[in-house]
Amino acid sequence: MGAMSTYEFSTPARTLIDGSAIPQLGLGTWKLAGEHAYRVVREALEIGYRHIDTATLYDNEEVVGKAINDAIKAGEVSRDDLFITSKVWNDEQGTAGVNKAFNRSLDALGLDYLDLYLIHWPCASQGLYKETFEAMAKIQGLGHVQSIGVANFYPEVLRDLVSGTGITPAVNQVELHPGFSQPELRALHDEMGIITEAWAPLAKGELLTHPKIVAIAQAHEVPASVIILRWLVQLGCVAIPKSAHRDRLISNLDIHGVTLSEAEISTMLSIDEEPGMGRKYGDPLVFGNQS
């Protein structure tokens, strides 16, 4: 209830292993800061976004939280309708660090609870992700966070986390976009009951002129960005595109008029095989693992 948007977007949701629902489209907030971040988050909530992704690293939790709380106070949205994620940064892994980081995030956001809290990178060489995740499970047990998960976990650390703690993360937020659709990791997530969340779902805008995507977009008479986001949703993923532009915020949420055929989904998947495709950004085997 409570949503007073000019738009009528009903974002599809997935059910997490703990029974909570996660909207399949959300707003990424990396690189958004200050008044600018405030305006974008207020605008996104007004348009109909109900899922916002931030992190300690993004240094914008205070302003993101202010936008959320002002929208709640203005009666535009209710807290119950929102899904808010934050993440513990690499240098605060471990029990004491994550407890401190979580409380600081909650304070900065001005919220009583988070919907999802993630380990931002495994940083396997630190050897702390299991301890960190167990501490997060205790925070969850106290009711301060609905769901706990991870980001940038690859199969080896994912299996080690689950076998070592006995706890399955609700999501794994990983780089995933056309050209890097991560079929093996998605299959492992399905086996383990983990929801796949795509970061950089639009490959930061780099693939919007790809001929195969443009051809599908032209056939459906929608922007290429809509095709990518619709494809991710049909694959069962959650996607958190970031945009600072109102028209893009609207079109990124407006994926409902399109259904991709199996053939179109396969065409999108086939982009993985093209030269120059693959992971574009940080490799978790390397990033956060340097000694």
Ligand X SMILES: NC(=O)c1ccc[n+]([C@@H]2O[C@H](COP(=O)([O-])OP(=O)(O)OC[C@H]3O[C@@H](n4cnc5c(N)ncnc54)[C@H](OP(=O)(O)O)[C@@H]3O)[C@@H](O)[C@H]2O)c1
Q: What residues numbered 208-227 form the site for ligand X, per CB under 6 A? A: 208, 223, 225
Among 157, 158, 170, 240, binds ligand X (CB under 6 A): 240
Min dist CB 171 to ligand X, Å, is 10
Min dist CB 159 to ligand X, Å, is 20
251 binds ligand X (CB under 6 A): yes
Tokens of 76: 């535009």
> CA-CA distances (angstroms) from residue 41 to 9, 25, 149, 243, 255?
16, 14, 23, 10, 20
Q: What residues numbered 97-116 form the site for ligand X, per CB under 6 A? A: none
Task: Identify which range of 102-110, 178-186, 200-208, 271-279 contacts ligand X by CB under 6 A.
Answer: 200-208
Nearer to ligand X, 142 or 286 (CB): 286
Task: Identify which range of 64-72, 88-96, 131-139, 245-253 contacts ligand X by CB under 6 A.
Answer: 245-253
Three-state SS at 22: strand
| Cα–Cα dist 160/170, whole Å | 15
248 binds ligand X (CB under 6 A): yes
Min dist CB 222 to ligand X, Å, is 10
- CB atoms under 10 Å from CB of 284, counted, come to 19
| Cα–Cα dist 247/212, whole Å | 24
| Cα–Cα dist 49/249, whole Å | 9
200 binds ligand X (CB under 6 A): yes
* Closest residue by beta carbon to ligand X: 28
Q: What residues numbered 160-179 form the site for ligand X, per CB under 6 A? A: 173
Which letter does DSSP use for residue 164 in this model? H
Q: What residues numbered 114-133 form the site for ligand X, per CB under 6 A? A: 120
| Cα–Cα dist 118/149, whole Å | 5
Range list of H helices, the chain:
34-47, 61-73, 95-109, 129-141, 155-165, 183-192, 211-220, 224-234, 246-253, 262-270
Min dist CB 75 to ligand X, Å, is 27
Instruction: Give me the residues that bind ligand X (CB under 6 A), please.
Output: 28-30, 53, 120, 151-152, 173, 199-205, 208, 223, 225, 240-245, 248, 251-252
